[in-house]
């Protein structure tokens, strides 16, 4: 007899997790608690309640986490200008620690013995969910059905539903791609995308028009920063999740934010995926712009040097780790003077910085000017500077050393 009496399941209401509810009930003879998070995936989450009730679930958690998601996860990540392998803005990765946290919170609240998720054994999400769970509750039991059952195809899942009278909603026109969405991005995998040579179909994209179909006139937008975070758009104060929602619409309408990459998964394989991150693409460009006038040179270069490590930490699932907290403390320390406004021009897939200003700017027009600077900078000083920096090169060359 199983010692698992109650399990908290990350529940979407879709085919996989609906099967998991019944599979947990049948396999472990346990009570299932469902947790459905609204993190801006663009679909109603409330219907998950009726689906869970139809499966005999008594404790159902449906929560709007959009504000917490952007404020406590997306914004801190963007303070570091984070990208993985030079391109990926970590839209899926950054959502997992919040879901893991709430799974553990609910397990503690309900006295559950275990948590469960619908991530497959081939992907990164299983790692992210479980590393987060173990960091927050070391002794928690994790049940990962995809690593235990033999229902390894859509046909087998549907057959399981039919045999056990599990209601499955077959939506007309549903995308054939494996998709994940939240306020930061939407991802697409599978089908023709499994061939790295095959171009993504135009009909696949959901959040953006193609650059070719974008308006022929540019859109200008001004973003106001306070300590590295956007607090207003065009002078209007906004909460973090409203900032991202607004930028998603602006960017998507201008053909901004599409990405097609082959990435290296933490579990070892390469994976081709397409992503739409409209608002995030703007945020990355604008944040670097405001930092360009407010950050000290060496601080900016230090941030750039640790960013790849920080990105790997998040991608691999170590948000709830001491190294991420240490890196975050350094990153946040650098943001005290990252205040001001950035003006951007959005046009046919491009994000151009056309202005930046700040009361904390380190840009000194008197020194930088090509005109008469009234003695603000003595150009003769450069001779000694160059000679001192060339000293080691001159010594080595004098010894006949070759590069």
Residues taking part in catalysis: 16, 96, 125, 178
Whole-number Cα distances in Å, 215 to 276, 283, 391? 18, 21, 55
The Cβ-side half-sphere exposure at 131, using a 13 Å CA radius, reads 20
Angle (nearest 5°) at CA 211 between 210 and 212: 90
Q: Which residues contact 42 (CB under 8 A, 6 or more apart)?
A: 181, 186, 206
Q: Partners of 222 in the beta sheet?
A: 343
Q: At what angle do helices 125-136 and 96-110 cross, to 10 degrees?
A: 50
Is the Cβ–Cβ distance between 106 and 136 less than 8 Å?
Answer: no
Q: How far is CA 315 from the centre of its chain?
A: 9
Residue 312: closest CA among 86, 14, 112: 86
Is the Cβ–Cβ distance between 62 and 33 less than 8 Å?
Answer: no
SS3 93: helix
């Amino acid at each position: 007899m199983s010692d698992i009496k109650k399990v908290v399941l990350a529940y979407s209401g879709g085919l996989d997790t609906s099967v998991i509810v019944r599979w947990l009930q049948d396999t472990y003879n346990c009570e299932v608690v469902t947790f459905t998070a609204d993190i801006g995936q663009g679909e109603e989450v409330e219907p998950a309640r009726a689906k869970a009730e139809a499966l005999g679930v008594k404790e159902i958690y449906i929560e709007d986490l959009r504000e917490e998601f952007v404020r406590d996860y997306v914004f801190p990540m963007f303070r570091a200008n984070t990208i993985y392998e030079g391109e990926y803005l970590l839209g899926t990765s950054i959502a997992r620690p919040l879901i893991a946290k709430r799974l553990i919170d609910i397990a503690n609240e309900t006295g559950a013995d275990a948590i469960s998720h619908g991530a497959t054994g081939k992907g990164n999400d299983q790692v992210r969910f479980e590393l987060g769970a173990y960091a927050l509750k070391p002794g928690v039991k994790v049940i990962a059905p995809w690593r235990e059952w033999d229902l390894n195809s859509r046909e087998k899942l549907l057959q399981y539903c039919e045999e056990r009278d599990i209601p499955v909603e077959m939506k007309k026109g549903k995308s054939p791609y494996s998709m994940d969405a939240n306020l930061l991005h939407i991802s697409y995998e599978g089908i023709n995308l499994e061939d790295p040579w095959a171009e993504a179909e135009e009909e696949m994209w959901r959040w953006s028009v193609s650059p070719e179909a974008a308006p022929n006139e540019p859109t200008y937008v001004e973003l106001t920063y306070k300590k590295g975070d956007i607090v207003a758009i065009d002078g209007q104060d906004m909460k973090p999740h409203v900032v991202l929602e607004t930028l998603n619409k602006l960017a998507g309408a201008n053909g901004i934010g599409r990405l097609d990459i082959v990435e290296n998964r933490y579990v070892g394989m390469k994976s081709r995926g397409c992503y739409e991150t409209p608002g995030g693409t703007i945020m990355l460009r604008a944040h670097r712009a405001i930092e360009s006038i407010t950050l000290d040179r060496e601080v900016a270069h230090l941030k750039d040097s640790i960013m790849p490590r920080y990105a790997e930490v998040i991608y691999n699932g170590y948000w709830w780790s001491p190294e991420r907290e240490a890196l975050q403390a350094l990153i946040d320390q650098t943001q005290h003077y990252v205040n001001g406004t950035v003006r951007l021009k959005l046009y046919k897939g491009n994000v151009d910085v056309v202005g930046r200003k700040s009361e904390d700017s380190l840009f000194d027009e008197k020194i930088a000017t090509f005109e008469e600077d009234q003695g603000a900078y003595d150009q003769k000083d450069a001779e000694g500077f160059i000679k001192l920096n060339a000293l080691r090169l001159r010594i080595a060359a004098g010894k006949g050393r070759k590069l």
